[in-house]
Amino acid sequence: MTIGQERLARRMARGCEFLGSEVAVMCGAMSWVSERNLVAAMSNAGGFGLIACGAMTPALLDAEIAGTKALTSKPFGVNLITMHPQLFELIEVCGRHGVTHVVLAGGLPPKGALEAIKATGAKVICFAPALSLAKKLVRSGVDALVIEGMEAGGHIGPVSTSVLAQEMLPELAEQLPVFVAGGIGRGEAIAGYLDMGAAGVQLGTRFVCATESIAHANFKKAFIRASARDAVASVQIDPRLPVIPVRALKNAGGEAFTAKQREVAQMLDEGKVAMAEAQLQIEHYWAGALRRAVIDGDVENGSLMAGQSVGMVTKEEPLADILGTLIAEAAQALEARAA
């Protein structure tokens, strides 16, 4: 082992122990992309894969977990969206399979969700969008946190990863493992966040073009062509209709989203829908648009959710190579640090 590798192993020890993986790197759940093949490839490579449950029914999740188990004997987790109408049934499915880690995404967990997950024996990981909420989550018993900056692909908050890391790691890192996500494309950044107290990191964008990823060839090509500035956040056009911004590559689909917001806002005006229904329509729109791009390859009208690190995605390559490069870069960066 080189000094750099040794330093990296030491800094990742807590995250590895928590995840049960060889390296403390999670492949963030990506709807339609993070299914059995990518998840198993990540866990088999020594990282930690996460199934994106998204809008799956309990039966579909059941099949996906079983399918993943057939491809890997290494630990992996499941990412559930808190607003899923069958959240508790999905938790039950995870419990039946003995899933070891459940990530709750998409807002604060509803009452009883943490307890239900913990009762299955699984560890709970939540996204913490701000320090005050992070402290609240810690008090309610979460086992680990992900802090994700606005550089990330998909649904994003308003604050950058670098600022979140500075605000949250000094306050939280001693209490529980914190994983940093958003905008990470190289190992030097991983080394930096570990130095700041992170237990590990989560990347999404960088893994989309893994050979094992089932994303359509057109989707992967769009990633390989794009640079950081092409991954833009959607804008909210109506102050009454709070939509969570989504970062995606610019295309006609992004413009269609603006039109969709106008349409839903007008329905609100006319009293044809209630606010909750209006927001749900927006979320369904994204899920459908992402499927169109990832599965059908319609990169014009579908949603090309991608983070700003997309410029560092330059080719399709086996997942183990992507992870290997990140780890080598991180070790190299730590090797260069003074003893």
Interface residues toward ligand FMN, by CB under 6 A:
28-31, 33, 52, 54, 79, 105, 148, 151-154, 181-184, 202-206, 305-307, 309
**Cβ 156 to ligand FMN shortest distance, Å:** 8
- Nearest to 104, CA basis, from 14, 159, 122: 122
The single-letter DSSP state of residue 109 is: P
State phi, psi for 317 to the nearest 5 degrees. -155, 160
Q: Would strands 246-249 and 154-155 be described as parallel, antiparallel, or unpaired?
A: antiparallel
31 vs 234, beta carbon nearer ligand FMN = 31
**Cβ 206 to ligand FMN shortest distance, Å:** 6
C-beta separation of 152 from 183 below 8 A: yes
151 vs 316, beta carbon nearer ligand FMN = 151
In whole angstroms, give the CA distance from residue 20 to residue 23.
9
Residues 6+ apart with CB under 8 A from 242: 236, 279
Which residue is closest to ligand FMN by CB?
204
**Cβ 195 to ligand FMN shortest distance, Å:** 19
- Nearest to 256, CA basis, from 214, 293, 229: 293
Helical (H) or strand (E) element with 78 = strand 76-81
4 vs 77, beta carbon nearer ligand FMN = 77
**Cβ 18 to ligand FMN shortest distance, Å:** 17
In whole angstroms, give the CA distance from residue 222 to residue 110.
37
In single-letter form, the type of residue at position 314 comes to T
**Cβ 267 to ligand FMN shortest distance, Å:** 26
Runs of H (alpha helix) within 85-242: 87-97, 113-119, 131-139, 161-172, 187-195, 217-225
Which residue in the block uniquely carries the two structure tokens 């909210």? 236
Strand order in the sheet with 154-155: 154-155, 246-249, 231-233
7 vs 177, beta carbon nearer ligand FMN = 177
In whole angstroms, give the CA distance from residue 255 to residue 94.
37
7 vs 123, beta carbon nearer ligand FMN = 123
**Cβ 105 to ligand FMN shortest distance, Å:** 3
244 vs 273, beta carbon nearer ligand FMN = 244
7 vs 330, beta carbon nearer ligand FMN = 330
Q: How many CA atoms lie within 13 A of 304 on its CB side?
A: 29
State the first-to-last Cα distance of the chain, in angstroms, to the nearest integer.
Answer: 16
7 vs 53, beta carbon nearer ligand FMN = 53
**Cβ 239 to ligand FMN shortest distance, Å:** 26
**Cβ 6 to ligand FMN shortest distance, Å:** 26
